[in-house]
Structure 1
Amino acid sequence: MSEENPTPEKPMLRVVRGTPDDAELAALTTVLAAAGASNPAGEAKQRRSRWADRAALLRKPLHPGPGAWRASGMPR
Protein backbone atom coordinates (compact mmCIF):
# COMPACT_ATOMS: atom_id res chain seq x y z
CA MET A 1 0.00 0.00 0.00
CA SER A 2 1.20 3.50 -0.69
CA GLU A 3 1.37 5.99 2.13
CA GLU A 4 0.27 9.52 1.54
CA ASN A 5 2.79 12.22 2.27
CA PRO A 6 1.44 14.25 5.22
CA THR A 7 3.36 17.41 4.20
CA PRO A 8 2.50 18.94 0.83
CA GLU A 9 5.38 19.25 -1.64
CA LYS A 10 6.53 22.68 -2.73
CA PRO A 11 5.64 23.55 -6.33
CA MET A 12 8.53 23.56 -8.79
CA LEU A 13 7.34 26.77 -10.49
CA ARG A 14 5.32 29.63 -9.11
CA VAL A 15 3.70 32.44 -11.10
CA VAL A 16 4.41 35.72 -9.34
CA ARG A 17 2.82 38.17 -11.73
CA GLY A 18 0.39 37.86 -14.62
CA THR A 19 -1.87 35.06 -15.75
CA PRO A 20 -0.08 32.79 -18.23
CA ASP A 21 -2.14 30.30 -20.19
CA ASP A 22 -1.38 26.59 -20.45
CA ALA A 23 0.76 26.99 -23.60
CA GLU A 24 2.98 29.64 -21.99
CA LEU A 25 3.49 27.52 -18.87
CA ALA A 26 4.31 24.49 -21.03
CA ALA A 27 6.88 26.52 -23.01
CA LEU A 28 8.49 27.83 -19.81
CA THR A 29 8.63 24.35 -18.29
CA THR A 30 10.20 22.95 -21.47
CA VAL A 31 12.89 25.65 -21.56
CA LEU A 32 13.78 25.19 -17.89
CA ALA A 33 13.87 21.40 -18.21
CA ALA A 34 16.17 21.63 -21.25
CA ALA A 35 18.46 24.08 -19.46
CA GLY A 36 18.69 21.78 -16.46
CA ALA A 37 19.33 18.69 -18.56
CA SER A 38 22.15 20.26 -20.58
CA ASN A 39 24.51 20.29 -17.59
CA PRO A 40 23.35 17.64 -15.11
CA ALA A 41 24.49 17.98 -11.51
CA GLY A 42 26.68 20.98 -12.32
CA GLU A 43 29.33 18.88 -14.05
CA ALA A 44 32.03 20.82 -15.84
CA LYS A 45 32.24 20.57 -19.61
CA GLN A 46 34.90 18.24 -20.84
CA ARG A 47 37.54 20.05 -22.82
CA ARG A 48 38.74 18.59 -26.08
CA SER A 49 42.43 17.83 -26.17
CA ARG A 50 44.68 19.74 -28.54
CA TRP A 51 45.46 16.45 -30.32
CA ALA A 52 41.80 15.98 -31.24
CA ASP A 53 41.23 19.61 -32.23
CA ARG A 54 40.51 19.67 -35.98
CA ALA A 55 41.03 23.45 -36.13
CA ALA A 56 44.74 22.89 -35.59
CA LEU A 57 44.88 21.28 -39.04
CA LEU A 58 43.88 24.54 -40.71
CA ARG A 59 46.81 26.63 -41.85
CA LYS A 60 46.92 30.32 -41.01
CA PRO A 61 46.97 32.67 -44.03
CA LEU A 62 50.34 33.69 -45.39
CA HIS A 63 51.03 37.39 -45.79
CA PRO A 64 53.57 38.40 -48.44
CA GLY A 65 56.28 40.83 -47.49
CA PRO A 66 59.68 41.05 -45.87
CA GLY A 67 60.34 38.06 -43.63
CA ALA A 68 57.20 36.22 -44.79
CA TRP A 69 59.20 33.10 -45.67
CA ARG A 70 60.47 32.93 -42.08
CA ALA A 71 57.02 33.47 -40.56
CA SER A 72 55.51 30.76 -42.78
CA GLY A 73 57.37 28.01 -40.95
CA MET A 74 57.08 29.33 -37.40
CA PRO A 75 54.04 28.91 -35.22
CA ARG A 76 52.31 32.05 -34.03
Structure 2
Amino acid sequence: MTAPEEKPLLRVVKGDPDDHELAALTAVIAGLAAAAPVEDKPAQRSEWANPARRVRRPLQHGPGAWRASGFPG
Protein backbone atom coordinates (compact mmCIF):
# COMPACT_ATOMS: atom_id res chain seq x y z
CA MET A 1 0.00 0.00 0.00
CA THR A 2 1.46 3.36 -0.96
CA ALA A 3 1.18 6.48 1.16
CA PRO A 4 -1.23 9.13 -0.09
CA GLU A 5 0.46 11.94 -1.92
CA GLU A 6 0.98 14.97 0.32
CA LYS A 7 0.33 18.49 -0.87
CA PRO A 8 3.41 20.69 -0.99
CA LEU A 9 3.79 23.32 1.71
CA LEU A 10 4.67 26.01 -0.82
CA ARG A 11 3.94 26.28 -4.50
CA VAL A 12 5.59 28.74 -6.87
CA VAL A 13 2.87 30.21 -9.04
CA LYS A 14 4.86 32.74 -11.00
CA GLY A 15 8.54 33.20 -11.68
CA ASP A 16 11.52 30.89 -11.44
CA PRO A 17 13.17 31.13 -8.00
CA ASP A 18 16.48 29.42 -7.42
CA ASP A 19 17.26 27.17 -4.47
CA HIS A 20 18.54 30.04 -2.29
CA GLU A 21 15.39 32.10 -2.79
CA LEU A 22 13.17 29.12 -1.97
CA ALA A 23 15.24 28.39 1.14
CA ALA A 24 14.92 32.02 2.29
CA LEU A 25 11.17 32.02 1.70
CA THR A 26 10.76 28.74 3.54
CA ALA A 27 12.82 30.03 6.49
CA VAL A 28 10.71 33.19 6.76
CA ILE A 29 7.41 31.32 6.60
CA ALA A 30 8.60 28.71 9.11
CA GLY A 31 9.75 31.48 11.46
CA LEU A 32 6.39 33.24 11.25
CA ALA A 33 4.53 29.99 11.88
CA ALA A 34 6.69 29.17 14.90
CA ALA A 35 6.25 32.60 16.48
CA ALA A 36 3.34 32.26 18.87
CA PRO A 37 1.39 35.43 19.59
CA VAL A 38 1.86 36.73 23.10
CA GLU A 39 -1.70 36.78 24.35
CA ASP A 40 -1.23 34.85 27.58
CA LYS A 41 -1.70 37.86 29.84
CA PRO A 42 -4.96 39.76 29.73
CA ALA A 43 -4.65 43.39 28.76
CA GLN A 44 -3.82 45.50 31.78
CA ARG A 45 -6.76 47.66 32.73
CA SER A 46 -6.29 51.37 33.12
CA GLU A 47 -6.59 52.65 36.66
CA TRP A 48 -9.07 55.23 35.37
CA ALA A 49 -11.43 52.39 34.42
CA ASN A 50 -11.19 50.77 37.87
CA PRO A 51 -14.71 50.63 39.36
CA ALA A 52 -13.25 51.05 42.84
CA ARG A 53 -12.38 54.65 41.94
CA ARG A 54 -16.09 55.46 41.89
CA VAL A 55 -16.37 54.59 45.56
CA ARG A 56 -14.94 57.29 47.74
CA ARG A 57 -14.29 57.60 51.42
CA PRO A 58 -16.64 59.71 53.49
CA LEU A 59 -15.57 63.32 53.73
CA GLN A 60 -13.77 64.09 56.95
CA HIS A 61 -14.64 67.12 59.02
CA GLY A 62 -12.73 69.03 61.62
CA PRO A 63 -9.31 70.65 61.81
CA GLY A 64 -7.05 69.76 58.88
CA ALA A 65 -9.87 68.14 56.88
CA TRP A 66 -9.19 70.28 53.85
CA ARG A 67 -5.58 69.05 53.79
CA ALA A 68 -6.54 65.38 54.28
CA SER A 69 -9.06 65.59 51.42
CA GLY A 70 -6.21 65.91 48.93
CA PHE A 71 -4.39 62.77 50.02
CA PRO A 72 -5.31 59.44 48.43
CA GLY A 73 -6.90 56.78 50.47
Segments ≥4 residues shifted beyond 2 Å: 47-50
1:24 aligns with 2:18: no
Name which of 28, 39, 50 aligns with 1:45.
39
Aligned-pair CA distance for 1:44 = 5.7
Paired positions, count: 46
Aligned-pair CA distance for 1:47 = 2.3
What is the match of residue 63 of structure 2?
Answer: none
- Name which one, 1 or 2, has greater alpha-carbon Rg: 2
Residues 9-43 of structure 1: per-residue CA shift (max 9 Å, x gap): 1111000000000000000000000000002xxx6
Letter in structure 2 aligned against 1:37: A
Letter in structure 2 aligned against 1:4: T
Name which of 11, 15, 31 aligns with 1:14.
11
In structure 1, what is the Cα distance between the partners aligned to 2:40 and 2:11?
Answer: 34
TM normalised by structure 2 equals 0.50
SS of equivalent residue, structure 2 residue 23: helix
Q: Percent identity at matched positions?
A: 43
Gaps (5+ residues) in structure 1?
51-72
In structure 2, what is the Cα distance between the partners aligned to 1:49 and 1:14?
Answer: 38
